[in-house]
Amino acid sequence: MRASTALRASLLAALAVIAVAAGCGGGDEDKGGSRDVRANGTDTAFVSAMIPHHEAAVDAADLALSRAEHRRLESLAEGIVQFQSAELATLRTVRDVLEEAGVEEGDLGLSKSEQGMDHDPAELREVANFDCAFMEMMIPHHEGAIRMARAELKAGIHAELRQMSESIIDSQGFEIRQMKRFQSQWCEGSGGDHPSGAEGHGG
C-alpha cells in the first residue's frame, strides 16, 4: 500500500507539471499554422486515440467503484479515475491547441486491438464475476495504452505528451502487475470470466 501511495504522489506531481505546460512551447520543427506549437502528426494521432481510450478506462473504473467486491480492486479503480481524468483534461487541452495550430493527424501504426480497444466497458454492467471480468478487460486495455505511449515516445515531439507517455508506461505498468497478482489470487484459471456474458461466482 505504501508503494501505491508513493506512486500516486509521484504521478500527481507529474500531472501538475503537464497541466501547467500543456500546449506551450515552440521550435524549428513546428508543423502548425497560426500558433507556435512544436508538434507533429504522431502527437495528434496520440491525442486522438488516447482520449477515447482514457474515457473507456474511466467508465470501467467508475463501475468498479460500485461493483467491485474486493477493496483492493476498488482502490485501484479509484486511482484510475483520479489519474486518467486528470490526464484527460490535459489531453483535451492539447487537442484544442493542436487543432487551432492546424497540426495534421498522423498514424500511431497500431490497430484498435493493439490499442486495447476490443471491448466496451458497458459489457461489465451485468457480468456475474465483476472483479475477474474487469481485470480481464482492463489488463489488455492498459497494455494497449503502453503501446500507444511507446509509439508517441518513438516518433512524437510534443514535450508534454512525451512526458505523459512516460507516466502512462510507469503507472499503467504498475497497475497491470497489481491486477495480475489479484487475478492469481481471486480468479480461476488465467484470467477469470470474460465480460461477454460468461457465468461466474461472486468474487
DSSP strands (E only) in the chain: none
User: 3-state DSSP: the chain helix, strand, coil percent, rounded to 5?
Assistant: 65, 0, 35
pTM of the model as a whole: 0.78
* Cβ count near 192 (within 10 Å): 24
Return the domain boundaries, the chain. 37-186
pLDDT (tens digit, 0 to 9) for every residue of the chain, 203 residues total?
A: 444 544 554 454 444 444 434 444 433 344 444 456 899 999 999 999 999 999 999 999 999 999 999 999 999 999 999 999 999 999 999 999 999 999 999 999 999 999 999 999 999 999 999 999 999 999 999 999 999 999 999 999 999 999 999 999 999 999 999 999 999 999 986 443 444 333 333 33
In degrees, to the nearest 5, what angle opens at C-alpha 126 toward C-alphas 120 and 131? Answer: 80
The pLDDT, as a whole number, for residue 76 is 98
User: For the CA atoms of the chain, what is the radius of gyration?
Assistant: 18
From the candidate CATH numbers 3.40.50.1820, 3.60.60.10, 1.10.10.10, 1.20.1260.10, the one assigned to the domain spanning 37-186:
1.20.1260.10
pLDDT of residue 188: 82
> How many other CB atoms are there within 10 angstroms of residue 23's CB atom?
18
State the DSSP H helix or E strand holding residue 115, giving kind and residue range, or none if neither: none
Q: Which three three-digit cell numbers place residue 107?
A: 498514424
Q: What is the separation, in whole angstroms, between the first and last Cα of the chain?
A: 21
What pLDDT sits at residue 16?
A: 44
**CA-CA distance, 202 to 142, in Å (whole number)?**
24
Residue 65 CA, chain-centre distance (Å), reads 17
User: What's the CA gap between 101 and 36, in Å, rounded?
Assistant: 7
Residue 180, φ and ψ in degrees, nearest 5: -65, -35
